[in-house]
A = this chain, B = another copy of it.
Amino acid sequence: MSVTIKDIAKAAGVSHTTVSRALKGNPVISAQTTERIQELAQQMGYIPSAVAQSLLSRQTWTIGMVVTTIADPFVVQVVEGVEKVAQAANYSVFLATSHNNSDQEMAVVETLHRRRVDAIIVTSSRVGSLYSSQLDQIQVPIVLINNQEEGEYLRSVAADDRQGAQLAVEYLISLGHRRIGYLGVTDRPKSNRRRLAGYQTALTDTGIALDPSLMVHPPAKTDFERGQAELEKFLAAQTTAIFCYNDAVAVGLLVACRQRGIAVPGQLSVVGFDDIEMAQYVTPALTTIAQPLLTLGQQAMEMTLRLLDGQDVQNQSLACELVARETTGKPSSN
């Protein structure tokens, strides 16, 4: 197997203790022996075993990251942010996928603990609250990113859905729109509610009355289908602009518009949320709200480092940004 300090000790004719000390430059060892042993270790291709070190130090320098799926470009950026900060702090990242399945999520968290990761970061957790009972016995810090579930007793970093939604609708208002719709979802209640709240705030702040018929939450299998479902009703209600729960919904809506011959943004303006990769490539390019994904990951990891350091932390809410593209314009004057 791998070279150990004992192998080096044997080769050098000293005890393994001396080798251990020499390798970390302990000044108590004579300069000559130190140099001789370091050279020998180099030659023999010695690389210390993090496993043995971890057993003793009770630290693995590892953080476990749970994501729904790595196939989602959304989570990829978050992971990148985490990885960046982690690497700079000498931590490695274990990636584990939950596939949006609660059982699976619990299972991977257990696997991570079994591997004695020093901390756990979970994106879009479905069951964050359940961890506490499982993990409060040990002291494994858990940080949640954009958790969908209620209950704020866990550490978390999240994009400010409300502020983002408000930004989107205020932009539409500034373009002159007054009949603005909201196309929401039913299966992510927390973020949907907050985006809806932002939508409502923007309208009422400007003195525009809320119209329940303009806020719809169609049931559908995929977000894309959701976007396609409700176009007719919106048009019948004189809607000139629609703010969608996310980009997938918005793209579905755009396709429906093309099929019906509705010009975007000529007859209808559309705004999405998330700024997924696709948003910039659809025609016309989608105006949307960008979550600070990279920052989300970085902040989560920085919060984790602080927790690891025994410091106190506060939950964070990060501002979103408007990305104005081609699906928004002034309302048609008919």
A residues whose Cβ falls under 8 Å from a Cβ of B: 1-3, 44-45, 47-52, 54-55, 58, 60, 62, 69-71, 73, 76-77, 79-80, 83, 87, 92-97, 110-111, 113-116, 134, 137-139, 277-278, 281-283
Contact = CB atoms under 8 A, between A and B. Distances in A.
A272 to B, nearest CB: 14
B45 A55 contact: no
Contact of A92 (B44, B54, B96, B282): B96
Contacts of A1: 58, 138-139
Residue in A51, A52, A80, A116 whose Cβ sees the most chain B Cβ within 10 Å: A51
Residue in A55, A96, A281 whose Cβ sees the most chain B Cβ within 10 Å: A281
A76 B70 contact: yes
A138 B2 contact: yes
Nearest to A111: B92
Contact of A137 (B45, B94, B113): B45
A48 B55 CA distance: 12
Given A58-B1, A113-B47, A116-B49, A97 B70 contact: no
Q: Closest 4 interchain pairs by CB?
A: A281-B281, A45-B137, A50-B115, A2-B138
A24 B114 CA distance: 15
B92 A94 contact: yes
A77 B83 contact: no
Given A137-B3, A277-B278, A282-B281, A110 B47 contact: yes
Given A71-B80, A73-B277, A83-B97, 16 more contacts: A1-B138, A2-B137, A3-B137, A44-B137, A47-B110, A51-B115, A52-B55, A69-B80, A70-B70, A70-B80, A71-B76, A92-B115, A95-B95, A277-B278, A278-B281, A281-B281
Contacts of A48: 114
B73 A79 contact: no
5 contacts: A2-B137, A52-B55, A71-B77, A92-B115, A283-B283
